[in-house]
Amino acid sequence: MLPLYITSGEPAGIGPDICLSLAERVDERPIVVLADINMLRDRAKILNQNIELIEYMGQTESSKKGQLYVEHVPLYEDVVLGKLNPKNSAYVLEQLRRSAYYAMEGQSVGVATAPVQKSVINDAGIHFSGHTEYYQEFAGVERVVMMLATKTLRVALATTHLPLRDVADAITKERLHQVIDILIHDLKTKFKKDHPQILVCGLNPHAGEDGYLGHEEIEVINPVLESYRAQGVNMSLSLPADTLFTPEHLKDADAVLAMYHDQGLPVLKSQGFGEAINITLGLPFIRTSVDHGTALSLAGTGLAKSSSLHAAVDLALDLARR
CATH number of residue 27's parent domain? 3.40.718.10
Domain co-membership, 254 together with 169: yes
How many residues in total does the chain contain? 322
**What is the amino acid identity at position 73?**
V
Domain co-membership, 136 together with 114: yes
What pLDDT, on a 0 to 100 scale, did the predictor assign at position 160? 86
Residues within the annotated binding site for substrate?
131-132, 269, 278, 287
Residues within the annotated binding site?
131-132, 161, 206, 261, 269, 278, 287
Residue-wise pLDDT tens digits, 37-48: 999 999 999 999
Separation between Cα atoms, residue 186 and residue 206, nearest integer Å: 29
What pLDDT, on a 0 to 100 scale, did the predictor assign at position 226? 98
Mean pLDDT, the chain, whole residue set? 95
Domain co-membership, 166 together with 225: yes
Separation between Cα atoms, residue 198 and residue 201, nearest integer Å: 10
**What is the amino acid identity at position 31?**
I
Return the number of other C-beta atoms located less than 10 Å from residue 320's C-beta: 17
Return the number of other C-beta atoms located less than 10 Å from residue 268's C-beta: 22
Rounded to the nearest 5 degrees, what angle is found at the Cα of 175, between the Cα atoms of 171 and 177? Answer: 120
Residue-wise pLDDT tens digits, 82-92: 999 999 999 99
Model confidence at 58, pLDDT cuts 50, 70, 90, reads very high
What pLDDT, on a 0 to 100 scale, did the predictor assign at position 15? 98
Residue-wise pLDDT tens digits, 105-121: 999 999 999 999 999 99
Separation between Cα atoms, residue 58 and residue 3, nearest integer Å: 8
Residue-wise pLDDT tens digits, 194-212: 999 999 999 999 998 999 9
> Beta partners for 235?
198
What's the domain count of the chain?
A: 2
Nearest to 128 by CA among 151, 173, 104, 95: 95
The burial class, CB within 10 Å (0-12 / 13-18 / 19+), for 184 is buried
Domain co-membership, 137 together with 64: yes
Q: Is the pLDDT of residue 273 over 80?
A: no
- Of all residues in the chain, what percent carry a pLDDT higher than 70? 100
Q: Is the pLDDT of residue 275 over 80?
A: no
Lowest-pLDDT range, 2-6, 94-98, 171-175, 266-270? 266-270
Domain co-membership, 263 together with 304: no
Q: Give SS3 for 34.
A: strand
What pLDDT, on a 0 to 100 scale, did the predictor assign at position 161? 83
Range of the domain at 221: 145-282
Separation between Cα atoms, residue 39 and residue 15, nearest integer Å: 12
Q: Is the pLDDT of residue 272 over 80?
A: no
Residue-wise pLDDT tens digits, 152-179: 899 999 998 889 999 999 999 999 999 9
Residue-wise pLDDT tens digits, 235-270: 999 999 999 999 888 999 999 999 999 999 898 888
One DSSP character per residue, 223-275 reads: HHHHHHHHTT-EEEEEE-HHHHSSHHHHTT-SEEEESSHHHHHHHHHHHHTTT
Residues within the annotated binding site for a divalent metal cation?
161, 206, 261
Domain co-membership, 212 together with 320: no
Q: Is the pLDDT of residue 146 over 80?
A: yes
Domain co-membership, 268 together with 319: no
β-sheet with 154-157: strand ranges across: 52-55, 67-72, 31-35, 4-7, 110-113, 286-289, 277-281, 145-149, 154-157, 255-258, 197-201, 234-239
- Of all residues in the chain, what percent carry a pLDDT higher than 90? 89
Domain co-membership, 94 together with 172: no
Domain co-membership, 300 together with 200: no
Domain co-membership, 275 together with 288: no
Domain co-membership, 72 together with 91: yes
- Going from the C-alpha of 299 to that of each of 14, 33, 72, 131, 311, the distances in angstroms are 5, 17, 20, 21, 20
- How crowded is the C-beta side of 247, counted as CA atoms within 13 Å? 1
Domain co-membership, 43 together with 158: no
Sign of the C-alpha dihedral computed for residues 39, 71, 112 and 282 taken in this order: positive
